[in-house]
Amino acid sequence: MMPGTAGRGPAGTRGGGAAGGDGPATIHELAPERRLRRLELTITRRLDGLLHGQYLGLLPGSGSEFAGSREYRPGEDEVRRMDWAVTARTAVPHVRQVDADRELSTWLLVDGTPSMDFGTADLEKRELAVAAVAAVGFLTAGIGNRLGAHVVTQEAVRRFPARGGRNHLLAVLRLLLAAPRLDGAGPAPALAGAIDGLHRSTARRGLMVVVSDFLDGLPDDDIGEPAWETPLRRLGARHQVLAVEITDPRELELPDVGLITLVDPESGQRREVSTGDRRLRERYAAAATRQRQLVRRALRRSGATHLALRTDRDWVADLVRHVQAQRRLAGTPRGRTPGSDPGGAA
């Protein structure tokens, strides 16, 4: 049995945040308001102007939201905007009217299952998830833009309606920072069900951000499909989806530190493991690699954009690289790959 059974893979021991030392205080060691202030300063200073006012429309053209039909005006309207259904019904040419994509509606789904209460580096996975939510919130804030959230708690999925303004974002962040740890005493809402709930409750197209370790609902083998893949694919059929994957280095490999006790965060089951066994460490690393590859393949099949963040890395730098890569891809004409010669080889 690998650590972190119940379909969640090698999750290791439940975390206690940073591993000591005399470095600066981590997020969880600060008062809630100071945590929020530190996050905001980090994001606004290091990502100054990176995303503000520069997000792309959800669909090509002047708009994507259907706003009705009107009669066709020769010389003014484009034929490609013809509403053929209304034209056939009325025998009078009509064109479709759409609302321009001037507003961005962002919805967050934040995983709060027990495996997120783990960390062996500078941050716990839960803290890194809060940082990712803060980054998305601060950087997509703007006039007319709205942000809503679904947060997985011990009892159910708590929903925040989509609203604009900094105070609304701070209220969501305060809840995430103050949320009690899930002790595994009762079953937490499944990630697949939470994604389904997000899909059912958001009719208007927007940006969907799912922040999770994606360890919930994984198959027992390396061939099956995660329980959350189909709901995520349905969500991506209508919305832009960003999947933020949160991982910790100890979920990928075990250090040689002698005899340790591993705890399954879902069931509380404990097991003593001798990390001095080289073959055991190699099997653990191989199993973890296969697990993360399965998650990446499932995210790719679902059509979601994948952003991987680790507790032992500079998450701001990873976010910057991701956004810049997405912008380069968005600016590449169809039929070309980034870095290709527009004139072709001689």
Determine the number of helices (DSSP H) and then strands (DSSP E) in the chain: 8, 10
pLDDT band at 283 (very low <50, low <70, confident <90, very high): very high
Does 129 have pLDDT greater than 50?
Answer: yes
H or E, element range at 301: helix 278-302
Among 108-117, 127-136, 142-151, the least confident range: 142-151
Q: Which comes out higher in pLDDT, residue 293 or 179?
A: 293
CA distance 137 to 168: 10
Would you say 180 and 34 are in contact if contact means Cβ atoms under 8 Å apart?
A: no
**Long-range CB contacts (within 8 A, 24+) of 173-178:** 173/36, 173/39, 173/130, 173/133, 173/134, 173/137, 174/32, 174/36, 175/151, 176/110, 176/112, 176/126, 176/129, 176/130, 176/133, 176/151, 177/32, 177/35, 177/36, 177/130, 178/32
CB atoms within 10 A of CB 231: 23
The residue that leads in pLDDT, 274 or 268, is 274
Domains assigned to the chain: 28-53+102-330 (3.40.50.410), 68-100 (no CATH)
Compare 293 and 10 and report the one with higher pLDDT.
293
Residue 343 has a pLDDT of 38
pLDDT number for residue 123? 82
Distance separating alpha carbons of residues 256 and 249, to the nearest angstrom: 14
Structure confidence at residue 273 (pLDDT): 86
Residues 6+ apart with CB under 8 A from 314: none
For the entire predicted model, the pTM comes to 0.71
Residue 176 pLDDT: 80
Place of tokens 């968005």: 330
Residue 176: partners with Cβ closer than 8 Å, 6 or more residues away:
110, 112, 126, 129, 130, 133, 151
State which amino acid sits at residue 226: P
Task: Please state the rounded mean pLDDT for residues 85-111.
Answer: 80
Least confident residue range of 60-64, 90-94, 158-162, 234-238: 60-64
Instruction: Residue 14: name the closest of 102, 115, 109, 88 by CA.
Output: 115
- Percent of the chain, pLDDT > 70? 68
Query: In the structure, what pLDDT confidence band is assigned to residue 242 with cuts at 50, 70 and 90?
Result: very high
Q: Could you read off the pLDDT of 201-230 as tens digits, one per residue? A: 887 788 899 999 998 888 877 778 999 999
Q: How far apart are CA 286 and CA 267, in angstroms?
A: 24
**Which helix H or strand E contains 67, and what residues bound it?**
strand 63-71
- The predicted-structure confidence for 150-200, as pLDDT tens digits, reads as follows 988 767 788 888 888 778 888 888 878 777 665 555 566 788 999 999 999
